[in-house]
Amino acid sequence: MTIRSKLACLAAGAALSALPLAASTQEFINILTGGTSGVYYPVGGALSKIYTDGIPGAKIQVQSTKASVENLNLLQQGKGEIGLALGDSVKLAAEGDADAGFPAPLENLRGITAMYPNFIQIVASEESGIRTLEDLKGKALSVGAPKSGTELNARAILAAAGMSYEDLGKVEYLPFAESVELMKNRQLDATLQSAGLGVASLKDLSVSIPISVVAVPAEVADKLGAPYIAQTIPANTYEGQTEDVATVAVINFLVSSSNVSDDLAYQMTRLMYENLDVLKAAHAATNSIDVQNALKGMPIPVHPGAQKYYDEVGVAAE
């Protein structure tokens, strides 16, 4: 065999050996969201479209979960590439809080960006007579799935108001849509939902039965402190809600993990900010997303890939 022939054979072998490597470079992105009637799910759907269009050949999946706490644990375990979670849940996950669902610190978590505020929305049926937090005593309240981000919010707010689950007549641990169905059937007095404004479940409830939106007073907001901030649910957010209602909100974060490559984290961050119109079309809750606020209040280390994007666009660390 001539030297030229030997070189040709070696080149052919090298090309063949490279094929499995090329095939293995396909990106898999599992987007961790929440229940299908909440805001996380349509936001996840919008991210899926953005990443499908922007990362050729990537395999994208949107997973419906129990939201914040489950998402963070899945990211820690390498069972997702990116997910949404409430700021207080992220903080407790990084610290390790067994009562919140994190027996040990989740050290693999890495921040991508701050997103939009989740408003704590406590809605009662009008016939329940519930108008204030104090009126919840002796009543049946759904607080979200056990140890979900919403349920952690419920515990915190009741505690700041000098109450606990023991003061309630009944506690239900249900997702948003199931809570609403029970209220329609007069089997539940009220639901506490931590979500973006105009969440589908509460819109559905408000057009089905007369409701009362319960205020979280300023003094409760002050007692809660960071990461909670005082906010307002504007009048007419829901059918029959004719006045502004005081409440508190917690910032949502988009979170990844140290298992995700710097390049993929960079692409996911860049593509999201270059396609905010797709997010805003998916849900109005995302209208407040601003790259200048991306690192505000970030309770975990920023992913190096995301940081690369912020360095490019001149967003300084907080």
Each residue's pLDDT tens digit, 46-69: 999 999 999 999 999 999 998 999
- Is 166 in the same domain as 238? yes
Could you give the CA distance from residue 67 to residue 69 in angstroms, rounded to a whole number? 6
pLDDT band at 12 (very low <50, low <70, confident <90, very high): very low
CA dihedral 174, 177, 178, 179 (to 10 degrees): 70
Asked whether 131 and 212 are in contact (CB, 8 A), the reply is yes
Mean pLDDT of 24-51: 91
The pLDDT, as a whole number, for residue 96 is 97
The alpha carbon of residue 59 and the mean position of all alpha carbons in its chain are separated, in whole angstroms, by: 21
pLDDT band at 225 (very low <50, low <70, confident <90, very high): confident
Assess if residue 3 is contained within a domain: no
Closest CA to 260 of 16, 29, 7, 6: 29
pTM of the model: 0.80
User: Looking at the predicted structure, is the pLDDT value of residue 4 above 50?
Assistant: no
The pLDDT, as a whole number, for residue 227 is 83
Asked whether 239 and 204 are in contact (CB, 8 A), the reply is no
Asked whether 283 and 39 are in contact (CB, 8 A), the reply is yes
Number of domains in the chain: 2
The pLDDT, as a whole number, for residue 147 is 77
The CATH number that applies at residue 238 is: 3.40.190.10
User: Looking at the predicted structure, is the pLDDT value of residue 27 above 60?
Assistant: yes
**Tens of pLDDT along 153-201?**
999 999 999 999 999 999 999 999 999 999 999 999 999 999 889 999 9
User: Looking at the predicted structure, is the pLDDT value of residue 22 above 60?
Assistant: no
What whole-number percentage of the chain has pLDDT above 90? Answer: 83
The pLDDT, as a whole number, for residue 25 is 64
The pLDDT, as a whole number, for residue 15 is 42
- Is 149 in the same domain as 200? yes
**Tens of pLDDT along 88-137?**
999 999 999 998 999 999 999 999 999 999 899 999 999 999 999 999 99
Mean pLDDT of 2-28: 48
Assess if residue 18 is contained within a domain: no
Could you give the CA distance from residue 176 to residue 153 in angstroms, rounded to a whole number? 14
User: Looking at the predicted structure, is the pLDDT value of residue 41 above 90?
Assistant: yes
Assess if residue 17 is contained within a domain: no
DSSP code of residue 32? E
Asked which of 250, 270, 304 is the last residue of a domain, the reply is 250
Average pLDDT value for the chain: 91
Q: Residue 109: which domain range?
A: 27-115+252-313
- Is 35 in the same domain as 78? yes
pLDDT band at 6 (very low <50, low <70, confident <90, very high): very low
- Is 148 in the same domain as 244? yes
pLDDT band at 207 (very low <50, low <70, confident <90, very high): very high
- Is 128 in the same domain as 233? yes
Assess if residue 51 is contained within a domain: yes
Asked which of 230, 250, 270 is the last residue of a domain, the reply is 250
Asked whether 31 and 71 are in contact (CB, 8 A), the reply is no
* Vertex 234: Cα angle to 289 and 140 (nearest 5): 105
- Is 242 in the same domain as 287? no
- Is 246 in the same domain as 123? yes
Asked which of 232, 250, 268 is the last residue of a domain, the reply is 250
More confident residue, 35 or 208: 208
The pLDDT, as a whole number, for residue 45 is 98
